[in-house]
Copies of this chain bind each other. A is one copy, B any other.
């Protein structure tokens, strides 16, 4: 994910409401869909094509948690590891809108919804994002909203 025109490490001060970021693509493979499900989400529609055809998914679909994990990888590579990230207190909302299928080429769009300084800690603040995961057809398969904690460029400035 490119963080626009700003270079170097990103701080709270560098994020602006309304800003959008795009990411590169990340392909989800059949074998990993199944092995992820075997470890974390062993439901028939995530494990086996034949069993999945008999369900409401009509075919193999990735666990929604697998999509969340790929989302995390995309933002880590994209900007979290190039920012003054201090983690996240949680997730405001996740919507799984469409099945993610074997071979889907996923990509992320991030929009800054809100930004605020912490009341109790002058060295940090919160950037609230809307993240949309898109498949190769451009359909939004998942929406996730979350506030990320970010350090400030100048403490107490």
Contact = CB atoms under 8 A, between A and B. Distances in A.
Interface residues of A, number: 32
Copies in the complex: 2
Contact of A56 (B39, B73, B80, B87): B87
A76 B39 contact: no
B95 A89 contact: yes
Interface stretch (A3-11, A63-71, A106-114): A63-71
Nearest to A39: B73
Nearest to A36: B69
Interface in A94-116: 94-96
Interface of A: 39-43, 45, 56-57, 63-65, 68-70, 72-73, 76-77, 80-81, 85-96
